Amino acid sequence: MRFKFPLVAISLEVAMIVLFGLFVQYETDQTIFQKQNTTGPMDTGRFLELYPLFQDVHVMIFVGFGFLMTFLKKYGFSSVGVNLLIAALGLQWGTIMQGILHSHGQKIHIGIKNIINADFSTATVLISFGAVLGKTSPVQMLIMTMLEIAAFAGNEYVVGEIFKASDIGASMTIHAFGAYFGLAVTVILYRSGLRKGHQNEESVYHSDLFAMIGTLFLWLFWPSFNSAIAEAGDKQYSAIVNTYLSLAACVLVAYAFSSLVEHGGKLDMVHIQNATLAGGVAVGTCADMKIQPYGSMIIGSVAGMVSVLGYKYLTPFFATKLRIQDTCGVHNLHGLPGVVGGLAGIVAVDLGVSNMTTVARQAAALGSSIGTAVVGGLITGLILKIPIWGQPLDENCYDDSVYWEVPRVREHDSGFHERDDHSQLELDV
């Protein structure tokens, strides 16, 4: 670890700078302003109009995903810190990978859609990061970022350019893809030593509150996520309204099912932190279609229910029977709702167009996303299994102190003010 991490990180950044020097240019004045006058609705001239939506997505990636994973009591530094590291590398690499596939041999001209898409590509890796959280090293995560974004960009190209399928909010290409990629990696990295759980794999009261910061910023800005690259005008409007309503419906159903499946009818923070977001995932594919407001709410409700049931019944089953150790339960937040989204997209297209070809294209897109994710994840897992990347020992899992300088003082020292010093029971004996 002493020099491996710095060496890998600096080499990757140097590589990025070289690649950007070779392939990436500004949009020229002509590129920006001439396109504004073209008839195409997807013009790239809407920079400042789309910039607020980009910033919403940006908050989701860095604050949303980052804090959502801080629920573990001793793994907050890594959650929010490695999240930042992955995303910072990923957005550079995503710009290159997506740009090369779409630029057809020309230079890549960075516009607002490129930086939104670059942020999107990092989301895929951050979802997979949730599956392997606490059991991997920063070096492994840098490698996974490079491999997964390459696979993601390839699948996205196939789904969008070859199958010409709809997936505006990326239920399939980001959420299902990221989840199944992460599950495949974690299958390969299976640790029998963690079969019976780990004492660090739990939350404390305040870490659950930190995680709610992530949940809320994800929940709030999800309409921007699903609409940011939608066609201007009517479709973008629909994507915002549908996502807004799907998420609201999802909350009520997720709370209801959390209470229903828990001992004594209590609410479970894991469900609240995660399943309330499933509505945003599931409405993604058809967010810009005319599925009607109540249609969005049905999709959100189903997603909320499926997600809670997944956390309650599937995750333990996966861990004990299938050797799938999914730390954050990304299968329940992104995998299942992503598949629900893909299926909802098939139904929506079917109802709207009555055209078997379109339906088949949607189904192919779902299949391609899951297939590419699983194959890519298995290969990535095998590479990450090579014992040279500074993996933590079983006993050091879910513990920041392996990779971080951690304050040694006791927690309750903070803000701890006794009136009489002599009444203070000294704990550090």
Q: If DSSP codes are grouped into helix, strand and coil, which group holds residue 67?
A: helix
Do 28 and 109 contact (CB within 8 A), yes or no?
Answer: yes
Residue 121, interface with a second copy (CB under 8 A)?
A: no
10 Å Cβ neighbour count for 424?
10
- Give the nearer residue to a second copy in terms of CB position, either 18 or 42: 18
Task: Return the half-sphere exposure (C-beta side, CA atoms, 13 A cut-off) of residue 1.
Answer: 10
d(CA 170, CA 42): 17
Q: Which of 37, 39, 321, 409 binds a second copy (CB under 8 A)?
A: 409
d(CA 219, CA 337): 15
Tell the smallest beta-carbon distance from residue 37 to a second copy (Å).
Answer: 14
Contact positions with a second copy (CB under 8 A) in 69-108: 70, 73-74, 76-77, 80-81, 84-85, 88-89, 91-92
Residue 411, interface with a second copy (CB under 8 A)?
A: yes
Tell the smallest beta-carbon distance from residue 380 to a second copy (Å).
Answer: 20
**Phi, psi torsion values for 262, nearest 5 degrees:** -90, 150
Q: Which of 144, 247, 340, 344 binds a second copy (CB under 8 A)?
A: 247
Do 372 and 365 contact (CB within 8 A), yes or no?
Answer: no
Q: If DSSP codes are grouped into helix, strand and coil, which group holds residue 104?
A: coil
DSSP strand pairing (24-26 vs 108-110): parallel
From residue 317 to residue 356, the character string flagging contacts with a second copy as x (rule: CB under 8 A) and all else as - is: ----------------------------------------
For CA atoms 100, 240, 238, 365, give the dihedral sign. Answer: positive
Render 185-239 in DSSP notation, one character per residue: HHHHT--GGGTT--TTSS--HHHHHHHHHHHHHHHHHHHHHHHTTSPTTHHHHHH
Q: Which of 41, 52, 316, 367 binds a second copy (CB under 8 A)?
A: 52
Residue 416, interface with a second copy (CB under 8 A)?
A: yes
Per rule CB under 8 A, count of chain residues that contact a second copy: 132
From residue 175 to residue 214, the character string flagging contacts with a second copy as x (rule: CB under 8 A) and all else as - is: ---------------------------xxxxxxxxx-xx-
Do 25 and 109 contact (CB within 8 A), yes or no?
Answer: yes
Q: Which of 177, 180, 244, 389 binds a second copy (CB under 8 A)?
A: 244
From residue 129 to residue 148, the character string flagging contacts with a second copy as x (rule: CB under 8 A) and all else as - is: ---------x----------
Tell the smallest beta-carbon distance from residue 375 to a second copy (Å).
Answer: 28
Residue 161, interface with a second copy (CB under 8 A)?
A: no
Q: Which residues, other chains included, contact 215 with Cβ-Cβ below 8 Å and sequence gap of 6+?
A: 64, 68, 272, 273, 274, 276, 277
Contact positions with a second copy (CB under 8 A) in 250-289: 251-253, 255-257, 259-260, 262-269, 272, 276
- Give the nearer residue to a second copy in terms of CB position, either 287 or 324: 287
